[in-house]
């Protein structure tokens, strides 16, 4: 963006290991937070079926509602961060709220309790995600956006590998001791909060007053709006990983094995995230996003045909390439399609599109999975993904 419109009000950015300081420490924050949160999330399918006596419909409903409600906060938090130019406070509040929910799972004995805690956890995510993504984009030179978002997603997913691994070890040696998982997750979450002390706010010296939510939406380009719509549709076609993990039980695997397959998924995700970010800088974000959703379709095909543990593991390995190719890259493209003074609002709208799509995918996908079977759920989701890809390609030609 031209300097006469806005300028970043900070001194030259210090670097750690070649990364801007904010990027480096936000990566650590995400690593420990996902270590903590994914310990909880990876045992959800087992927790729902054994303790809460619920199935795919309830699991998809809880995950979908929580994701959808959290994204209402993402819309507001992104715009508020633009108006106040104080993004770090929202980031800290969001992480603290999420971490504080984790020890209370030990008291949950019904689906309603799990829903309440999951909603609070996702509200914390809603408060922090758009301001955090704005800090990342404003702390990074434009030519390094893909690399920075890729690094952040890689660290995020490294935590997502460690969390399920530790959850597996706990349940393997202490079967059905879910409370030990929840309390360990809380201890790791405390480290998340400590890393936030090293993050610096990034403010802009603006030439005009930041827009309200409706005004900011109106000032976003038609190309960005169509892009956000395509992301929403694509997200509707992305079945929740929590529901997909129920495939392990249909093959007769033990409860403790479920986090292991989630770990395989995250290994693939983490291992390719940085490469995907660099690839988007070279080849273009839209091309990489299309490749990511094509990989998702292949993953659905493999999972649907898996009848033993090794093909199932291969399916989750392929499936992990999908978020690596899309998650950080979608944020990078959103940053490229928006101006600096609208960046928080743009990130909020993008996150809202993803989350509202996840709400639809969770509720609809979980219902189809339990009532019509996995094959029908895969087929319906795949059809929606194809429609979303068409919209994404159309958005690239929009003036």
Give SS3 for 397: coil
Burial of 397 (0-12, 13-18, 19+ CB in 10 A): exposed
Nearest to 326 by CA among 149, 72, 95: 149
**Two tokens at 260?**
């292991």
Beta bridge partners of 6: 206
Considering the domain boundaries, does residue 237 fall inside one? Answer: yes
**Two tokens at 196?**
């936030």
What is the chain's mean pLDDT, rounded?
A: 86
Q: DSSP for 129-197? A: HHHHHHHHHHTS-GGGHHHHHHHHHHHHHHHHHHHHHHHHHHHHHSTT-HHHHHHHHHHHHHHHHHHGG
Rounded Cα distance between 314 and 306, Å, is: 9
Asked if 343 and 83 count as a contact pair (C-beta separation under 8 A), the reply is no
Average pLDDT rounded to a whole number, residues 221-240: 92
Considering the domain boundaries, does residue 303 fall inside one? Answer: yes
Lowest mean pLDDT among 108-112, 267-271, 307-311: 267-271
Kindly give, in sequence order, each residue whose CB lies less than 8 Å from that of residue 187, ignoring residues fewer than 6 positions away. Answer: none
pLDDT at 104: 97
Considering the domain boundaries, does residue 23 fall inside one? Answer: yes
Rounded Cα distance between 349 and 229, Å, is: 10
Q: Does the pLDDT value for residue 89 go beyond 80?
A: yes
- The number of folded domains in the chain is 1
Rounded Cα distance between 379 and 237, Å, is: 10
Rounded Cα distance between 60 and 370, Å, is: 10
Report for 57-61, 341-345, 379-383: range of highest mean pLDDT: 379-383
Tell me the pLDDT tens digit for each residue of 243-293. 999 888 778 787 888 899 999 998 888 788 778 877 887 888 899 999 999
Residue, of 398 and 98, whose pLDDT is higher: 98
Nearest to 9 by CA among 85, 123, 94: 85
Centroid of chain to Cα 231: 13
Tell me the pLDDT tens digit for each residue of 160-204. 889 999 999 999 999 889 999 999 999 999 999 999 999 888 766
pLDDT at 312: 94
Domain that residue 285 falls in: 6-395
Label residue 7 by pLDDT band (50, 70, 90). very low
Looking up residue 121, the CATH number of its domain turns out to be 1.20.1250.20
Task: Please give the backbone phi and psi of residue 177, each rounded to the nearest 5 degrees, phi first.
Answer: -85, 70
Q: What pTM, to 2 d.p., does this model score?
A: 0.79
pLDDT at 344: 67
Lowest mean pLDDT among 104-108, 190-194, 253-257, 357-361: 253-257
pLDDT at 110: 93
Rounded Cα distance between 355 and 276, Å, is: 22
Task: Please give the backbone phi and psi of residue 108, each rounded to the nearest 5 degrees, phi first.
Answer: -80, 130
E strand segments, the chain:
6-8, 15-16, 19-20, 204-206
Label residue 366 by pLDDT band (50, 70, 90). very high
**Other C-beta atoms lying within 10 Å of the C-beta of residue 282:** 9
Percent of the chain with pLDDT over 90: 48
Label residue 1 by pLDDT band (50, 70, 90). very low
Average pLDDT rounded to a whole number, residues 192-219: 73
Residue-level length of the chain:
399
Residue, of 351 and 5, whose pLDDT is higher: 351
Considering the domain boundaries, does residue 1 fall inside one? Answer: no
Kindly give, in sequence order, each residue whose CB lies less than 8 Å from that of residue 386, ignoring residues fewer than 6 positions away. Answer: none
pLDDT at 379: 96
Asked if 149 and 136 count as a contact pair (C-beta separation under 8 A), the reply is yes
Tell me the pLDDT tens digit for each residue of 123-166. 999 889 878 888 888 888 877 777 888 888 788 878 988 999 99
């Amino acid at each position: 963006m031209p300097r006469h419109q806005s300028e970043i009000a900070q001194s030259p950015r210090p670097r750690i290991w070649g990364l801007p300081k904010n990027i480096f420490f936000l990566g650590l924050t995400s690593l420990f937070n996902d270590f903590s949160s994914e310990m909880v999330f990876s045992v959800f399918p087992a927790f729902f079926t054994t303790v809460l006596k619920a199935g795919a419909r309830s699991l998809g409903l809880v995950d979908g509602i929580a994701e959808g409600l959290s994204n209402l906060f993402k819309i507001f938090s992104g715009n508020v961060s633009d108006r106040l130019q104080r993004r770090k406070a929202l980031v800290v509040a969001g992480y603290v709220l999420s971490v504080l929910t984790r020890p209370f799972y030990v008291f949950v004995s019904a689906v309603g309790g799990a829903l309440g805690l999951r909603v609070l956890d996702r509200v914390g995510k809603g408060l922090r995600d758009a301001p955090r993504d704005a800090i990342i984009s404003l702390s990074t030179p434009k030519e390094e956006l893909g690399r920075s978002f890729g690094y952040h997603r890689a660290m995020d997913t490294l935590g997502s590998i460690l969390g399920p691994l530790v959850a597996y070890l706990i349940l393997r040696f202490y079967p059905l001791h879910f409370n030990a998982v929840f309390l360990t997750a809380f201890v790791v979450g405390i480290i998340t909060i400590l890393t936030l002390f090293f993050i610096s706010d990034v403010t802009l010296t603006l030439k005009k007053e930041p827009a309200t939510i409706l005004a900011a939406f109106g000032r976003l380009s038609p190309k960005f709006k169509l892009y956000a719509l395509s992301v929403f549709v694509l997200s509707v076609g992305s079945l929740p990983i929590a529901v997909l993990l129920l495939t392990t039980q249909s093959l007769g695997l033990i409860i403790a094995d479920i986090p292991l397959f989630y770990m395989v998924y995250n290994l693939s995700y983490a291992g390719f995230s940085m490469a995907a970010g660099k690839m988007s800088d070279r080849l273009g974000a839209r091309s990489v996003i299309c490749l990511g959703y094509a990989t998702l379709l292949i993953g659905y095909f493999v999972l649907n045909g898996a009848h033993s543990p090794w093909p199932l593991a291969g399916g989750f390995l392929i499936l992990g390439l999908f978020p690596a190719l899309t998650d950080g890259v979608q944020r990078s493209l959103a940053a490229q399609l928006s101006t600096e003074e609208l960046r928080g609002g743009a990130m909020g709208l993008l996150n809202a599109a993803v989350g509202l799509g996840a709400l639809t995918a969770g509720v609809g996908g979980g219902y189809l999975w339990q009532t019509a079977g996995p094959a029908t759920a895969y087929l319906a989701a795949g059809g929606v993904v194809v429609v979303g890809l068409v919209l994404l390609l159309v958005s690239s030609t929009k003036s």
